[in-house]
Amino acid sequence: MPEDLVPMIWQALGDDRVTTKEAAARLEKALHYRCPDDLARTFSRLRREGLVKGEISFEDGGWIWWADAECRAHVKQ
């Protein structure tokens, strides 16, 4: 994933905590492009890199994703 897409992902997530399905819908609306790969896998990679945060929500039946100030301050070397 190109680095310039990460800020777009942050913008699509906003300050909300959203499900994978909601994140996909927001990204499709923002980018006018449907991600062809598994978004949860992509978000998991970004989570390991500190660019987004995520946790399993039993209440929502899947992963919840968000980007906070710590994520947005992260600079890839």
The candidate with the shortest Cα–Cα distance to 50, out of 15, 77, 21, is 77
CA distance 63 to 77: 27
How many alpha carbons fall within 13 Å on the CB side of residue 14?
9
CA distance 20 to 16: 12
pLDDT tens for residues 8-43?
889 999 999 999 999 989 988 887 777 656 888 889
pLDDT tens for residues 34-49?
765 688 888 999 999 9
**Which domains does the chain show, CATH number per domain?**
5-73 (1.10.10.10)
Longest Cα pair distance anywhere in the chain, in angstroms?
36
